Structure 1
Amino acid sequence: MKAIFIAALGVAWLAGAAAQAQTAPAAGDTTLVLAGQLLDRPGQAARGPSTVVVRGGKVVEVRDGFATATHGERVIDLRDQFVLPGLMDMHVHLYIPGDPLKARLEATTRDFEDRFVLAAEAARWTLEAGFTTVRDMGGDPHGMRALRDAINRGALPGPTVVFAGSMISVTGGHGDQGNGLSRDHAALARANSTNLCDGPESCRRAVREQISMGADVIKFAATGGVNSNVAGGVGRQMFDDEMRAIVETAHMFGRKVGAHAHAKDGIEAALRAGVDSIEHGAFTEDSTVALFKQTGAYLVPTELAAFTALEQARRGDRPPAVLEKAEATAKVAQANHRRAIMGGVKIATGSDSGVSKNGDNAREFKLMVAAGMTPMQVIKAATVNGADLLGRSSTIGTIEVGKDADLVAVQGSPLEDITRLERVAFVMRRGAVIKLGGQRQAFPPNPSSEAKTVALGDNAGRAELALVFDDPDEAY
């Protein structure tokens, strides 16, 4: 009875606070972003001098020309810069620091709390690099849930995070943390694992486990991986019925599914199972391209990971089992990605940061141009296509009225030189200025009624539940 009363009281408080927060904003809560050039809808031509009007974390107007402040609006002068939607990375690992040798040396001294702090730092670096939305494809589920929610309520700086929890894998597969360890350490690594499954029923359970811990999407290892400590190659590792069980269960719960897949047989099996995206896709043929187009699935190429993993393996930063796989994959990945691009496969950008350092995500773009994409196609893949893959095109991906005010700016046009996106000078996420003039801004920004509205909208349900109940995946 007490719990019900407290819950009702909490809901009433939230409703009142939300109503108060949503009253007409003062003029000082409005921001005018003056853009020298504005690529508001990637895939279409850029506009000339423009003004983006931001209020309550949303875009409320896009005007031609430079507006002037008449009622105390804040003005951000980017008249000498190129403004575009916030970038998206569809494959990151915030819980992986991008330095495998250091990680191996410090593995026995890092606790859960240490790893969370490292992930929070990675999230901030990623946001400051211009990536306002990311899909984390493998990290500690409880830690990622806490990080996602802390960012959403404004407690920590970072991009909007859509996370997969732990990558689902068969025993001995790419996501088995016990691979290559002594029997005692392997038993310890597997003792509390929630991601290992063998057979369709077990794989359904593994999906439900990730969802129960807050996963927004599901990822599974259809094939071997380059960086896992097992010399089994990068061929197929799951049976058809296991893949179908994972996809059907995830879709039943409203979660999209990404399949880690390098080898052709694993890619095609995952596509037939109904996945929404293939991660990496290093080995393809014309039949693979045809299946992509038939199913409508996205390819997330992670070009940067192929070359980074090879460099690390050659230096000895990774276990010996990795080197042969890295050599074979890096040799063919870009040519096969070019086949997919030229064949009209839908592409979303993903760097697999965590293999490389978080914050260096935009280095992926130059490699995608080398694989056959134009700069405009790359930018569209990093904005419009990313939003579509996430199922969030109504709120992100373009600069349009009613969408989140996620904006970045660079000096000069990235349509002429895509590497300019490696030097982002301005970042705004949901109306909050994160980076200005190339400099980190204070966080949190000054509170406003709009910021409170965003926080309540993202966490109202979680707040109510709190009142009622008051009594490393390997990458690449």
Structure 2
Amino acid sequence: MRRLRQRHLIALLAATLAASSASAQTLYVETGRLIDGVTDTVRTGQCVTVEAERIKAVAPCGKTPDGATRLDWSGLTVLPGLIDLHTHLADLGQSADLAAPIKASPAETALVGARNARVTLNAGFTSVRDVGTYRGLTDVTLRNAIDRGDVPGPRMWVAGAYLTIPKGGGELNGVVPNEELPADMRLGVAATPEEAAAKTAYLLDHGADFIKTIATGAVLAIGTEPGAPELTVEQLRAIVKVAHARGKRVTAHAHGAIGIQNAINAGVDSIEHASLADEATLQLAKKRGTWLAMDIYNGDYIDDVGTKEGWPEEYLRKNRETTDAQRTAFRRAVELGINIGFATDAGVYPHGLNARQFAYMVRYGMTPMQAIQAATGHASVEMGRADIGAIVPGRFADMVAVKADPIADIRALEQIDHVMKGGVIVR
């Protein structure tokens, strides 16, 4: 047993040293087909020079630069590292057990999050926006651990907690009286605009990168209805005022049309779900330039697996009432040219399956290139990041490679062959 432990430690040390070495060296990546994430052109014969975690140059291939290592991806399609704008890495995942989040300690939740992060990175998602956890600030802990190099995972931008009304769609309802929930499960609960502003400041002071609000009821929350508004316009405006004053963005969980309109009128930057958006609501989003993050894959997963596993009938009913409506709204949003980012709600289904949504986005109106850009260049714009999402000089050297051509078959992205994050080959 001692020898096994020694061999494991030696292998772990070797992998650590290899990663450190790889991050310091210059790479010259020869691509077969190159999709840069910002233009519609698929280029061939291009080489990407990577130096100090960043892309230094993209140009027709030639002689390997002095001191660089040539990486042969000439038989592959190379794309920017993928971005998922709606994940829940720092949480346990959805199940039939309503009490699961309270049964797990913050430490256990963070360890589960570390596993989720590794799986997500291996699936080709090198950046994620993590939009809330029941155990408040666990996502901050996970992000910091990834940034330090303690655990492998994507770049994370985190919300810290849900900003929600008491007993609203961001609370763990139906387990114990909400007032008896642990304090870290109610960090974002606010009953007034003043409380909403104070909770916003608290989360930003404690490491949140952006703010996630709950503007309507939720599908996967007991006692709330997706079409019903929750946070008021006044509360939402108070949140937006504090966040924007600090240069931070605000997104709103909102299914129903009134709740979506409330959030847009309050000045939020993006809408999660938008399941019941009507024509007037979509036109308002287009007029204001509000981004939509619509998780149009997981409705099928909830209906299938949730039914088999005995999830609450309330969940299943609300999922049936929103799934087809959301896909209709998505198709119309594409037709209108509304800003749409790739967002899956990973955690409702197992992490690592994020790329299954691409086929749904194509089925409901996008071209394969539009779907890819929604998860690369366009996603980086929604996040306000100029350092990820594209294979252009100056950005982080986050890239994925696949054998098949995703423009011909978007499902190719469900089987990523190679992943690079910051110039380090992950797989």
Relative to the length of structure 2, the TM-score reads: 0.90
Matched, 1:61 2:61: no
| Alpha-carbon distance, 1:191 to partner | 4.1
Equivalent residue, structure 1, for 2:402: 410
- Give per-residue Cα distances to partners, 1:118-145, cap 9 Å, x unaligned: 1011111111111111000002443222
Instruction: State the alpha-carbon separation in 2 of the partners of residues 27 and 410 from structure 1.
Output: 22
Instruction: State the alpha-carbon separation in 2 of the partners of residues 254 and 126 from structure 1.
Output: 28
- SS of corresponding position for 2:171: coil
Equivalent residue, structure 1, for 2:72: 77
CA contact (8 A) 1:28 1:71 kept: no
Match of 1:145 among 121, 140, 154: 140
Question: Which runs of no fewer than 5 residues in structure 1 stay unpaired?
Answer: 1-24, 436-476
CA contact (8 A) 1:36 1:83 kept: yes
Match of 2:416 among 424, 441, 448: 424
Instruction: State the alpha-carbon separation in 2 of the partners of residues 98 and 126 from structure 1.
Output: 13
**Residue type of the alignment partner of 1:269:** N
Matched, 1:294 2:297: no
Change (3 A) 1:27 1:341: closer
- SS of corresponding position for 2:317: helix
- SS of corresponding position for 1:303: coil
Match of 1:116 among 89, 95, 110: 110
Match of 2:359 among 356, 366, 371: 366
Instruction: State the alpha-carbon separation in 2 of the partners of residues 212 and 26 from structure 1.
Output: 35
Change (3 A) 1:51 1:356: same
Superposed, 1:295-374 pairs within 5 Å as 295-374=288-367
Instruction: State the alpha-carbon separation in 1 of the partners of residues 274 and 217 from structure 2.
Output: 12
| Alpha-carbon distance, 1:181 to partner | 2.6
| Alpha-carbon distance, 1:54 to partner | 0.6
- Give per-residue Cα distances to partners, 1:166-213, cap 9 Å, x unaligned: 110001210122x22343xx3321544211001110111111121122
Superposed, 1:218-237 pairs within 5 Å as 218-237=211-230
Matched, 1:94 2:79: no
Match of 1:42 among 38, 45, 51: 38
Matched, 1:389 2:404: no
Instruction: State the alpha-carbon separation in 2 of the partners of residues 232 and 53 from structure 1.
Output: 51
| Alpha-carbon distance, 1:157 to partner | 1.0
Superposed, 1:190-205 pairs within 5 Å as 191-192=183-184, 193-205=186-198
Superposed, 1:413-452 pairs within 5 Å as 413-435=405-427
**Residue type of the alignment partner of 2:168:** G
**Residue type of the alignment partner of 1:292:** A
CA contact (8 A) 2:91 2:347 kept: yes
**Residue type of the alignment partner of 1:155:** D
CA contact (8 A) 2:226 2:256 kept: no
Relative to the length of structure 1, the TM-score reads: 0.81
- SS of corresponding position for 2:297: helix
Change (3 A) 1:194 1:34: same
Which structure has the larger Rg over C-alpha atoms?
1
Change (3 A) 1:41 1:315: closer
Instruction: State the alpha-carbon separation in 2 of the partners of residues 118 and 429 from structure 1.
Output: 22
CA contact (8 A) 1:384 1:397 kept: yes
CA contact (8 A) 2:79 2:391 kept: yes
Matched, 1:174 2:166: no
- SS of corresponding position for 1:47: strand
- Give per-residue Cα distances to partners, 1:52-97, cap 9 Å, x unaligned: 11110011111213x4446442222111000011110000000234
Equivalent residue, structure 1, for 2:9: none
Superposed, 1:222-261 pairs within 5 Å as 222-261=215-254
Change (3 A) 1:347 1:402: same
Equivalent residue, structure 2, for 1:189: 181
Question: Which runs of no fewer than 5 residues in structure 2 stay unpaired?
Answer: 1-20
- Give per-residue Cα distances to partners, 1:147-167, cap 9 Å, x unaligned: 212222322211110001111
Q: Compare 265-274 and 321-330 and name the one that shifted more.
A: 321-330
- Give per-residue Cα distances to partners, 1:192-239, cap 9 Å, x unaligned: 421100111011111112112200010011000000011545321122
Match of 1:160 among 133, 152, 155: 155
Runs (4 or more) in structure 1 with deviation over 6 Å come to: 25-28
**Residue type of the alignment partner of 2:91:** I
Equivalent residue, structure 1, for 2:16: none
**Residue type of the alignment partner of 2:349:** S
Equivalent residue, structure 1, for 2:127: 133
Instruction: State the alpha-carbon separation in 1 of the partners of residues 326 and 415 from structure 2.
Output: 26
**Residue type of the alignment partner of 2:264:** L
| Alpha-carbon distance, 1:37 to partner | 0.9
Q: Compare 232-241 and 209-218 and name the one that shifted more.
A: 232-241
| Alpha-carbon distance, 1:27 to partner | 12
Instruction: State the alpha-carbon separation in 2 of the partners of residues 272 and 105 from structure 1.
Output: 35
CA contact (8 A) 2:92 2:101 kept: no
| Alpha-carbon distance, 1:313 to partner | 3.6
Equivalent residue, structure 1, for 2:6: none
CA contact (8 A) 1:97 1:122 kept: no
Change (3 A) 1:191 1:406: closer
**Residue type of the alignment partner of 2:366:** M
**Residue type of the alignment partner of 2:54:** K
Instruction: State the alpha-carbon separation in 2 of the partners of residues 296 and 165 from structure 1.
Output: 25
Instruction: State the alpha-carbon separation in 2 of the partners of residues 166 and 288 from structure 1.
Output: 27
- SS of corresponding position for 1:272: helix
